[in-house]
């Protein structure tokens, strides 16, 4: 991202002037603040999902991938911007130029692919709930994430051959910069390909899929549980004894799905808006004889990019009860609660709950990341397990709908 500020070929460099004191103070302060908050927040997202078992859902796996990509952008693009403002030139040498440029584009492209992945996952989970039981699984999400990072890593290798350090000779000083080997005319096809694949197409796909999701969620609300087996069990339970909170469960789960979808839609919208100034600037400069390189506007474009990578954990905390609780637990700011109740012995119907290979219940296949007040919460107030006891079964216990 620093490379686009280099002057075009055949342009007289003239006399070099350092950044103003105001620019240095504002740049260093804002970049340090945004990157610092973003690095801490994204690290917390990764730790929360990896260390909390009930947070390991397919959707959260994609959010971990997005957090890792955002960390890469903040460290490879944000931190070098601080040294550039203070020193006025590239200080990381040839190897630093290649490595930092590579990781910049890797983080940018991987974040775009991660957003696309959880958008498709949400679409399948909401619009095709039966298929979601088999397609939206934890193991499949991990495989998709590995494939995304493998493909983007290979794709970004080209930047190792396109980047190089370059000495800019002014009338009063010579400075080192990290620039491209190829000329501006040769670089444009590469950029526009990158622009279309990792910005335009993901946003077009997200617009279509979230439109379909909105039609299902807000015009034709989903039932509480897309799995027919769970409905059948509820009917059998109501006939043999009594059914607990079925109507409230339906409205609660539907509201939860809407909340999760709203949160992810906000992430996509902010991705589009915060990347727009920089993307627009580069597109416009591609058709200008003399590119527009106002220092303050360039700073604004970069700050928008850093903010996009830093703001996602804030969104999760604001719009997800589970993430908010997990963040507090990670920071030891809230009451410590057991992640799972103590072990117990109870007769379970196999069609309702079975142990999977990764030790999770089939409910993980619904990919619901943020059950604000799940049906089981109503059966288990204050973290205590409650049972529906059927007197006709001589005290046999059945677990409430999970």
First to last CA, the chain: 48
Average pLDDT over residues 368-377: 40
Torsion on CA atoms 85, 88, 94, 100, rounded to nearest 10: 20
State residue 138's pLDDT score: 92
CA 112 – CA 198 distance, rounded (Å): 6
Most confident listed range (119-128, 341-350, 365-374): 119-128
Most confident listed range (200-214, 250-264, 318-332): 200-214
Do the beta carbons of residue 126 and residue 257 sit within 8 Å? yes
SS3 399: strand
State residue 253's pLDDT score: 64
Give 168's strand partners.
175
pLDDT single digits (tens) 277-319? 999 998 888 888 788 888 999 999 999 999 999 999 999 999 9
Predicted confidence (pLDDT) at residue 129 exceeds the cutoff of 70: yes
State residue 191's pLDDT score: 85
Average pLDDT over residues 318-346: 67
Average pLDDT over residues 176-196: 84
State residue 385's pLDDT score: 39
pLDDT single digits (tens) 148-179? 999 999 999 999 998 999 888 888 788 889 98
Domain boundaries, the chain: 3-399
State residue 198's pLDDT score: 94
Residue listed under structure tokens 């490379």? 3
Q: Which of 219, 217, 9 is CA-nearest to residue 127?
A: 217
Weakest-pLDDT range from 61-75, 115-129, 360-374: 360-374
Torsion on CA atoms 370, 110, 309, 23, rounded to nearest 10: 180
Do the beta carbons of residue 80 and residue 108 sit within 8 Å? no
Do the beta carbons of residue 275 and residue 305 sit within 8 Å? yes
Q: Which residue has the higher pLDDT, 7 or 182?
A: 182
State residue 39's pLDDT score: 96
Give 387's strand partners.
399
Residue 195: other Cβ atoms inside 10 A? 16
Assign residue 359 a region (left: φ > 0; alpha: ψ between -120 and 50; beta: otherwise). left
pLDDT band at 87 (very low <50, low <70, confident <90, very high): confident
pLDDT band at 261 (very low <50, low <70, confident <90, very high): confident
Rounded to the nearest angstrom, the gap between the alpha carbon of residue 349 and the centroid of all alpha carbons in its chain is: 37
State residue 12's pLDDT score: 56
State residue 304's pLDDT score: 96
H/E element, 76: none
CATH class as words, domain 3-399: mainly alpha
DSSP class of 219: I
CA distances in angstroms from 188 to 105, 177, 181, 184, 287, listed in the order given: 16, 20, 13, 6, 10
Interstrand relation of 174-180 and 397-399 (parallel, antiparallel or unpaired): unpaired
Predicted confidence (pLDDT) at residue 181 exceeds the cutoff of 50: yes
Do the beta carbons of residue 32 and residue 76 sit within 8 Å? no
Predicted structure pTM score = 0.75
Mean pLDDT of the chain: 77
State residue 169's pLDDT score: 85
Predicted confidence (pLDDT) at residue 341 exceeds the cutoff of 80: no
Q: Tokens for 306?
A: 């850093």
Rounded to the nearest angstrom, the gap between the alpha carbon of residue 161 and the centroid of all alpha carbons in its chain is: 29
Predicted confidence (pLDDT) at residue 377 exceeds the cutoff of 50: no
CA distances in angstroms from 44 to 128, 328, 339, listed in the order given: 32, 10, 18
CA 213 – CA 235 distance, rounded (Å): 28
State residue 343's pLDDT score: 41
pLDDT band at 399 (very low <50, low <70, confident <90, very high): very low
Which phi and psi (to 5°) does residue 389 adopt? -105, 125
DSSP class of 380: S
Helix axes 58-73, 138-155, angle to 10 degrees: 30
- How many CA within 13 A on the CB side of residue 291? 20
Give 398's strand partners.
388
pLDDT band at 89 (very low <50, low <70, confident <90, very high): confident
Residue 245: other Cβ atoms inside 10 A? 16
SS3 183: coil
Predicted confidence (pLDDT) at residue 134 exceeds the cutoff of 60: yes
pLDDT over 70 percentage in the chain: 71
373-394 as b/e, with b when 16 or more CB fall inside 10 Å?
ebbbebbbeeeeeebbeeeeee
SS3 90: coil
Q: Tokens for 240?
A: 């043999």
């Amino acid at each position: 991202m620093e490379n686009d500020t280099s002057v075009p070929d055949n342009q007289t460099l003239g006399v070099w002037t350092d950044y103003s004191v105001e620019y240095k103070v504002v740049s260093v302060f804002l970049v340090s603040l945004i990157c610092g908050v973003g690095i801490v927040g994204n690290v917390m997202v990764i730790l929360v999902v990896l260390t909390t078992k009930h947070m390991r859902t397919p959707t959260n796996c994609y959010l971990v991938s997005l957090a890792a990509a955002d960390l890469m952008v903040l460290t490879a693009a944000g931190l070098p911007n601080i040294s550039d403002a203070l020193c006025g030139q590239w200080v990381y040498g040839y190897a630093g130029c290649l490595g930092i440029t590579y990781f910049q584009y890797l983080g940018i492209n991987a974040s775009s692919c991660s957003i696309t992945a959880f958008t498709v996952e949400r679409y399948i989970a909401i619009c095709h709930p039966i298929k979601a039981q088999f397609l939206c699984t934890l193991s499949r999400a991990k495989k998709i994430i590995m494939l995304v990072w493998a493909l983007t890593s290979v794709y970004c290798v080209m930047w190792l051959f396109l980047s190089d350090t370059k000495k800019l000779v002014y009338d009063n000083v010579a400075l080192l910069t990290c620039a491209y080997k190829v000329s501006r005319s040769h670089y444009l096809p590469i950029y526009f390909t990158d622009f279309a694949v990792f910005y335009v197409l993901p946003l077009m796909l997200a617009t279509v899929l979230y439109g379909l999701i909105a039609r299902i969620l807000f015009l034709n609300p989903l039932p509480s549980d897309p799995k027919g087996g769970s409905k059948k069990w509820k009917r059998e339970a109501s006939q043999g004894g009594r059914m607990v909170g079925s109507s409230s469960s339906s409205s609660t789960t539907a509201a939860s799905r809407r909340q999760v979808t709203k949160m992810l839609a906000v992430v996509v919208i902010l991705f589009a808006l915060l990347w727009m100034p920089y993307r627009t600037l580069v597109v416009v400069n591609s058709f200008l004889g003399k590119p527009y390189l106002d220092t303050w506007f360039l700073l604004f474009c970069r700050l928008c990019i850093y903010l996009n990578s830093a703001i996602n954990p804030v969104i999760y905390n604001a719009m997800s009860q589970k993430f908010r609780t997990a963040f507090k637990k990670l920071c030891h700011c809230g009451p410590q609660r057991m992640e799972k109740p103590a072990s117990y012995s109870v007769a379970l119907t196999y069609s309702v709950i079975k142990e999977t290979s990764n030790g999770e219940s089939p409910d993980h296949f619904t990919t619901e990341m943020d059950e604000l007040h799940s049906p089981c919460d109503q059966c288990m107030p204050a973290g205590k397990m409650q049972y529906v006891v059927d007197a006709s079964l001589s005290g046999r216990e059945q677990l409430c709908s999970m």
